[in-house]
Amino acid sequence: MQRLIALAAEDGLSVQIATITPGIRGFLDLATMTIYLSRRLNPVEMLCTLAHELGHFHYGHDCSSLTAEAQANSYACRILIDPDAYAAAEALSPYLQDIADELGVTVTMVEHYQRHALQKLGERTYARAPHRKLA
């Protein structure tokens, strides 16, 4: 989490944990350059939501749409999931929940990673490069 907060700070964003409308995990307020995260989230959900909101900032989204949400999820899964760690987790178990637990992310992030960051060519699987490397 601290690495993502540092990435946010590099972009001039602050991160606040707040009581927000139930059902909303977080949001980006460009007017105040703040990412708000719901205090109702568990630590894994909070991590993934922060990465997702950083994706909105990365792409300059100022509103929500299906395309914007997909782009933000692609950004998030590619900064949260290391290809080597994913391969090791998948070798331990083919089940999404097990892979997510091993990687410390949500099942949604694993599903998005499988659909949008991996490419299978024959028997080989390749991962696209991450948007940013975490220190």
Both 56 and 93 in one domain: the answer is no
Higher pLDDT: 124 or 102? It is 102
pLDDT at residue 118, as a whole number: 79
Considering the domain boundaries, does residue 35 fall inside one? yes
Whether 7 and 48 share a structural domain: yes
Q: Confirm whether 74 is domain-assigned.
A: no
What CATH number does the domain containing 44 carry? 3.30.2010.10
- Calculate mean pLDDT across residues 29-52: 97
15 and 48 share a domain? yes
Residue 121 lies in a domain: yes
| Mean pLDDT across 54-82 | 93
Same domain, 83 and 50: no
Place 127 in a pLDDT band, splitting at 50, 70 and 90.
Answer: low
Question: pTM of the entire structure?
Answer: 0.88
Tell me which residue range forms the domain holding 53: 2-64
For residue 135, the model assigns a pLDDT of 47
* CB contact set of 108 (below 8 Å; sequence gap of 6+): 48, 73
One domain for residues 58 and 87: no
Cα 80 to its chain centre, rounded Å, is 6
The answer to whether position 16 is within a domain reads yes
Question: Is residue 72 included in any domain, yes or no?
Answer: no
Tell me the helices (H) and strands (E) count for the chain, helix number first.
Answer: 6, 5
